[in-house]
Structure 1
Amino acid sequence: MSDLLFHAASPATPLRYRLSTRIVTLSGVALALFLSMIVGTLWLSWQLEGAGAAINDAGSLRMRAGNIAIQLGEMRAARPANVALQSAQLDQTLARLDQGDPVRPLFLPETPAIRVQFNVVSATWRDALKPAIAQNGMAPHLYLDRLPAFVMQADALVRLIEQENARKTAWLRRSQLALAALACLGTMAIVYLLYAWFVLPVRRLERGLSRIEQREFTARLQVESRDEFGHLAQGFNRMAAELQSLYQDLALRVTHKTAQLSARNGELLALYEMTAFLHGAHDVEVLCRGFLTRVMRQFHADAGSVRILAPDDDNLHMVVSEGLPERMTDVERCMPASDCVCGAVATSGIAVIRDLRSGRASISAPAVDCGTAGFAAVTAFGIVSKQIALGSFSLHFRHERDMLPSETRLLETLGRHLGTALQNHRLAAAARQLAVAQERHLVAQGLHDSIAQSLNFLKMQLHLLDTAATRDDLNEIREIVPLLRGGLEESYEDVRELLVNFRTKFGAGSLRDAIEETVTRFERQSGTPLHLDYEEASGLPLPSDQQLQVLFILQEALSNVRKHASASNVRVVIRNAEDFHLTVQDDGDGYDPADIASRGEAHVGFHIMRERAARLGAQLGLESQPGGGARVHLLLPASRRQAA
């Protein structure tokens, strides 16, 4: 707006069209008119005042002429001097009336009749009365005879002056009325002109601004003058036109951005739904079918398929398909990766967008049979996980379909998400297989450390029993049979203990109950008293998998005590603080650590405990000496603890 005002006040506006010129001209005309009226009124007032003084002096002529007549009629010695004085004063009065006195003011009205009558009065005095005074001496008879004519002429002069004065008074009144009327008309004219020059343009501008505020950018002001407001209206129209252009452009941009945001929101929603689905627990076929269904719905595809590369023979296997003809799915259920577009995408990872009717494609790829199946366009994108090509998925359209760059990026992203989900599924299956293998390994070690050795002992005793029976050595047979019975009972206990260990499952917070049950079972099986010291300090409960590993280590340690230690007392100390501590100590026979180390894997129980401690990320300490008992200490630091 400041630019528009500056433009309106710029020197480009001709001087005669400027509002300042109009205002100055109007003010000058009004001032000149009012001043002229005021000057005329003052002049009339001044004329009336001078004429009034002239009436007084003209009236005094009669008085002075009468005074002279009275002086002439008195018989005194001082009479000649008084007559002369009165005569001189009358001469002075006539002289003032003739010459006027601007200071007083006093002057005769400048009309021919008054001037002629004044000359008659002056001549009558000068030619008739004044000579009568000098010719008759002191005799008043001649003077008195001529006095009425002088008085009559003086009265006529006074009447003429009064008539002229009345006429000027009337003019003065008319001038005052005209001045009042002119003031009213001038005020109305000034108000109208100011209204036309300022108020109306400002109101038009205000209405224009109000329409602009209401986003009516088609509003224009009519340029009705060439003054500053005319330039302001032109500037307003230019501003409105510029705003209209900008708003239309802005509206197009907003519409475009809204469409982009809507598309982005659709893409984000599709990604969110797809991610939520792919992170669920599904098998490969359900995973691929759900993925394909959602992608086809998102892009309005008529058909589609998901194909996975076989890791061993480089063939492309169709996992799921929708909307494809049966003959096509039968032919392409398993085929070499080099025979179709989907295979080229699966091996190269480069997306293919092909118009089957025009033959246009983003990359060169082998011809496919999609065109004969009634499809007009096909797109294929790779299923990739960390730069590893796992397969491809395709979308088929029965009408021409151009893929936007944003849609291409979304499909490539969805392909990577599916690849990650498939890879995670494979890794989870491999992890489950590894876990099963590890558990089988631990089971095998447990069987080897317990039942296998017992069975080996029983085999040796059976061989001795067979030899004794061949020799009919009853005494040796009686010695071997209790050993066989003891070995069988021990094997039976080992089997029961292994079954209990393998079936142990519990939730978070039930570790103490499981340990107390294990301790009770140990005392029942071995008959050895066991003291349990369980302290729950500031530590949080362990998660289920860590609790299970701790319990297995305790069971293995107590199994070793029962089988090999011949202990009288056993002490188990558990302290769940910031770090988790487990200590199993007995007063049995003990062992030589060097001897155990030299045997390596021979003592499977120690090896199993070390493997379970490694799973926990814990530190396992084994201390013993022959005849001095043994001590097993497990430390699970706070840094390796998991949240329950």
Structure 2
Amino acid sequence: MNISSPRLPWSLGAKLNLIGACLLLLALSGIGLMMSFTRQLDGGAAAVNEAGRMRMQTWRLAQSLEGGNPALIAGQLDQFEQSLLLLSRGDPTRPLALPKDPATRAAFVVVQDEWLRLRSDWTSGPAPQAEQVAERATQFVAHIDDFVSAIESQLASLTALLNWLQFAMVGLALTAAAALLYAGYRLILRPLSRLHAGLAQVGRGDLEARVSVSSHDEFGALSEGFNAMAATLQGLYQNLEAQVSAKTQDLALQNTRLAALYRAADWVSKADSLPTLAQGFATQLRALAQADASAVRWSDEGNRRYLLLASDGLPQALVDEEQCVPTGACFCGQTLDSAETRVIPILPLQDGPDADARAMLGHCERAGFQAVITVPVRLHERMLGELNLFYRQPKELAADERALLETLASHLAGAIEGLRASAMEREAAVAEERGLLARELHDSIAQSLSFLKIQVSLLRQAQERQQPEAAAQAVAELDAGVRESLADVRALLLHFRTRTNGEDILPALQSTLRKFEQQSGLQSELSMANDGLPLAADVQVQVLHVVQEALSNVRKHAQARRVWVSVQQRPFWRVEVRDDGCGFQPDAAAWDETHVGLRIMQERAARIGGRVEVSSVPGQGSRVVLSLEPLVSADAGIQKGNA
């Protein structure tokens, strides 16, 4: 059985190209024939001219024979030979060629033969008589005339053919124009008119309008497309009300989900604790998903178990039974590697091969649920928990619902992580404050208490040995130590109560120096140079604490009479505390024990991007310089300007 291949349809372009190619081929053929005939006519005319020259050469040669000039006769013979050779071969440089018809060729052969005999008679033996030369020349010219007549006859035939060919080309042009007009009407205009009529019908509201498909070209494809479009419009128009209703319901559902998503995002941003966040989220999740119950579970750091943080609509018995679910012990507690959003159908299971699955789903089955949706709560490949939705009817999860639930889960993950970060920040702040308080207590009161403990031991020893002078000295030392400890406590309270006033640190420095004068009885002087960018509030507090530490060291150890505090604001902040006390040896072994406040000042300066330098000369006082990097001052000024 032979199966023929299907015939491919001709496209509009292929049809037009075929018609154009045929017309072009006919036109080129006609033009080629006309050019061939024209060239033959030009070649024949040139041959007639050359034959006329041969007549003249014959009579000239006859006259030369009468004169008897051998050189002239030889030259004329050669010229005649050249003419015959030119007629025989043709001239490629100009259109000279003999017609190829038999009559012309035969006449030319006769001329060639007669010339050979004539030349033989005229060049061999004695010179012929004048009467004989004239008679032979007349006969030879007659043969040349016959040759010319044959050429002219052939040229007349070619001229007639050329005229008929010109008429044929005119007819071909008219025929081509008519064919193109007919093809344009048949292939383009008529299909366009049908399409235009169909569009007009559709424009008038007649959706049953159809266009007949009469070809398989582009217009056929357009007609089929028009018919399909009309059928689609008719179907859309007939079902428009139902589709509008369905779209309206879909938009209402999307708006409801979007509003619920906004509410959930707003809730997670305002919740201040994990239980509050989980309970509110469970309530909103149940309403959004139209579930019969919902649950929010939290997973520990190692994803070993899931704790039930909050639920909404779950029976109390199910809540008690699933308060803590080990990972993998139930379909709800998914492991990190296999966690995904999925629907778990709860079908009645019989004892047998499915006993394990029945045990895992037994709580949900007893509570009357038929489907559970689990949504993992993940953040950066870390499992934070899981969302569970419970349904008492079979449930299928659409793609948009899945995306919405996963988006809610990501919001919850971000909120949980935010609460965790806030708790860590608060813990870090408390730890830092405790560390600061511990350092202050260690550097002031703790050392004084250690000194008092030593004096109490010395007092006890003096009493046991009955040494009144030693006991009195110990009591005096205890009295001085208690007064110093009391002063340290007051200084510490002042240290933690001191606050800056707006952008200007000058009032705080003045207040600090006044209290220093009251406690120590020393004179102080404050000077500020230049105007610069203000410091941020937290930087000002640390600068003030460094100044207080330096003044405290002066009061305890310097034995000074006067203290100078100078502040330079440009090109960067520089605070200097200088005294005229006894000074100290910077490289002494007792440096850390005597000046324990230096380490605290260095830590405070490092916290705000600065550095502390201490210099001293024994007997000439000491100097403490706090320098801040220019970037710290500029950033602080920009922050305050933006505020």
Pair in the same fold by TM > 0.5: yes
Tell whether the 8 Å contact from 1:303 to 1:324 is kept in structure 2 after alignment. Answer: yes
2:278 matches 1:288:
yes
Query: Structure 1 249/293 Cα, relative in aligned 2: closer, same or farther at 3 Å?
Result: farther
Tell whether the 8 Å contact from 2:297 to 2:387 is kept in structure 1 after alignment. Answer: yes
Determine the C-alpha separation between the residues in 1 that align with 2:542 and 2:234.
Answer: 71
Q: CA deviation at 1:241?
A: 4.6
Q: Which amino acid aligns with 2:328?
A: S
1:511-534 CA-to-partner distances (Å, cap 9, x unmatched) read 443333222211211122222234
Query: Structure 1 572/506 Cα, relative in aligned 2: closer, same or farther at 3 Å?
Result: closer
Q: CA deviation at 1:562?
A: 1.7
Q: Which amino acid aligns with 2:403?
A: R
Determine the C-alpha separation between the residues in 1 that align with 2:521 and 2:468.
Answer: 33
Give 3-state SS (helix, strand or coil) of 2:577's partner: strand
Query: Structure 1 382/505 Cα, relative in aligned 2: closer, same or farther at 3 Å?
Result: farther
Alignment partner of 2:605 out of 613, 617, 639? 613
Give 3-state SS (helix, strand or coil) of 1:595's partner: coil
Gaps of 5+ in 1: 1-5, 11-201, 224-233
Determine the C-alpha separation between the residues in 1 that align with 2:268 and 2:555.
Answer: 51
Q: Residue 500 of structure 1 corresponds to which residue in structure 2?
A: 494
Q: Residue 396 of structure 1 corresponds to which residue in structure 2?
A: 390
Tell whether the 8 Å contact from 1:355 to 1:378 is kept in structure 2 after alignment. Answer: yes
2:584 matches 1:594:
no
Alignment partner of 2:412 out of 410, 418, 424? 418
Tell whether the 8 Å contact from 1:217 to 1:243 is kept in structure 2 after alignment. Answer: no
Q: Which amino acid aligns with 1:633?
A: L
TM-score, normalisation: structure 2 = 0.57
Q: Residue 90 of structure 1 corresponds to which residue in structure 2?
A: none
Determine the C-alpha separation between the residues in 2 that align with 1:294 and 1:536.
Answer: 60
1:39-98 CA-to-partner distances (Å, cap 9, x unmatched) read xxxxxxxxxxxxxxxxxxxxxxxxxxxxxxxxxxxxxxxxxxxxxxxxxxxxxxxxxxxx
Q: Residue 300 of structure 2 corresponds to which residue in structure 1?
A: 310
Q: CA deviation at 1:393?
A: 1.8
Q: Within 5 A, what are the aligned runs for 1:494-643?
A: 494-504=488-498, 508-509=502-503, 511-534=505-528, 537-542=531-536, 544-576=537-569, 579-595=572-588, 603-628=595-620, 629-638=622-631, 641=635, 643=639
> Which shifted more, 570-579 or 319-328?
570-579
Q: CA deviation at 1:222?
A: 11
Q: Which amino acid aligns with 2:555?
A: R
Tell whether the 8 Å contact from 2:282 to 2:296 is kept in structure 1 after alignment. Answer: yes
Determine the C-alpha separation between the residues in 1 that align with 2:452 and 2:336.
Answer: 61
Q: Which amino acid aligns with 1:622?
A: V
Q: Residue 379 of structure 1 corresponds to which residue in structure 2?
A: 373
1:415-452 CA-to-partner distances (Å, cap 9, x unmatched) read 23322322332232233223222222222221121112
2:348 matches 1:354:
no
Q: CA deviation at 1:285?
A: 0.5
Larger Rg: 1
Tell whether the 8 Å contact from 2:207 to 2:234 is kept in structure 1 after alignment. Answer: no
Question: CA RMSD of the aligned region, Å?
Answer: 4.6
> Which shifted more, 502-511 or 435-444?
502-511
Q: Which amino acid aligns with 1:617?
A: G
Tell whether the 8 Å contact from 1:343 to 1:392 is kept in structure 2 after alignment. Answer: yes
Query: Structure 1 358/374 Cα, relative in aligned 2: closer, same or farther at 3 Å?
Result: closer
Tell whether the 8 Å contact from 1:279 to 1:421 is kept in structure 2 after alignment. Answer: yes
Query: Structure 1 612/237 Cα, relative in aligned 2: closer, same or farther at 3 Å?
Result: same
Determine the C-alpha separation between the residues in 1 that align with 2:466 and 2:427.
Answer: 53
Give 3-state SS (helix, strand or coil) of 1:370's partner: helix
1:535-588 CA-to-partner distances (Å, cap 9, x unmatched) read 68342451x433332322222222222212223332323355685443323333
Q: CA deviation at 1:385?
A: 2.2
> Which shifted more, 382-391 or 244-253?
244-253
Q: Which amino acid aligns with 1:556?
A: E
Q: Residue 434 of structure 1 corresponds to which residue in structure 2?
A: 428
Q: CA deviation at 1:344?
A: 1.9
1:466-510 CA-to-partner distances (Å, cap 9, x unmatched) read 333344444444434333222111100111111222344567536
Query: Structure 1 274/507 Cα, relative in aligned 2: closer, same or farther at 3 Å?
Result: farther
Q: Residue 229 of structure 1 corresponds to which residue in structure 2?
A: none
Q: CA deviation at 1:328?
A: 0.6
Tell whether the 8 Å contact from 2:208 to 2:234 is kept in structure 1 after alignment. Answer: no
Tell whether the 8 Å contact from 2:207 to 2:231 is kept in structure 1 after alignment. Answer: no
Q: Which amino acid aligns with 1:317?
A: L
Q: CA deviation at 1:284?
A: 0.9
Alignment partner of 1:484 out of 464, 478, 481? 478
Q: Which amino acid aligns with 1:623?
A: S
Q: CA deviation at 1:329?
A: 0.6
Tell whether the 8 Å contact from 2:501 to 2:507 is kept in structure 1 after alignment. Answer: no
Determine the C-alpha separation between the residues in 2 that align with 1:301 and 1:514.
Answer: 62
Q: CA deviation at 1:293?
A: 2.2
Gaps of 5+ in 2: 1-11, 17-192, 213-219, 350-356
Q: Which amino acid aligns with 1:551?
A: L
Give 3-state SS (helix, strand or coil) of 2:438's partner: helix
Query: Structure 1 600/538 Cα, relative in aligned 2: closer, same or farther at 3 Å?
Result: closer
Q: CA deviation at 1:398?
A: 2.1
2:319 matches 1:322:
no
Determine the C-alpha separation between the residues in 1 that align with 2:400 and 2:594.
Answer: 64
Q: Within 5 A, what are the aligned runs for 1:104-503?
A: 212=203, 216=205, 218=207, 220=209, 241=227, 243-245=229-231, 269-280=259-270, 282-311=272-301, 314-345=304-335, 348-357=338-347, 366-367=360-361, 369-503=363-497
Determine the C-alpha separation between the residues in 2 that align with 1:409 and 1:615.
Answer: 46
Determine the C-alpha separation between the residues in 1 that align with 2:594 and 2:233.
Answer: 87
Determine the C-alpha separation between the residues in 2 that align with 1:618 and 1:250.
Answer: 75
Determine the C-alpha separation between the residues in 2 that align with 1:600 and 1:271.
Answer: 61
Query: Structure 1 609/459 Cα, relative in aligned 2: closer, same or farther at 3 Å?
Result: same
Question: What percentage of residue pairs aligned between the two structures are identical?
Answer: 33
Tell whether the 8 Å contact from 1:308 to 1:390 is kept in structure 2 after alignment. Answer: yes
Q: Which amino acid aligns with 1:218?
A: L
Determine the C-alpha separation between the residues in 1 that align with 2:625 and 2:593.
Answer: 18
Give 3-state SS (helix, strand or coil) of 2:361's partner: coil
Q: CA deviation at 1:373?
A: 1.0
Q: CA deviation at 1:635?
A: 0.6
Query: Structure 1 222/284 Cα, relative in aligned 2: closer, same or farther at 3 Å?
Result: closer
Determine the C-alpha separation between the residues in 2 that align with 1:328 and 1:551.
Answer: 60
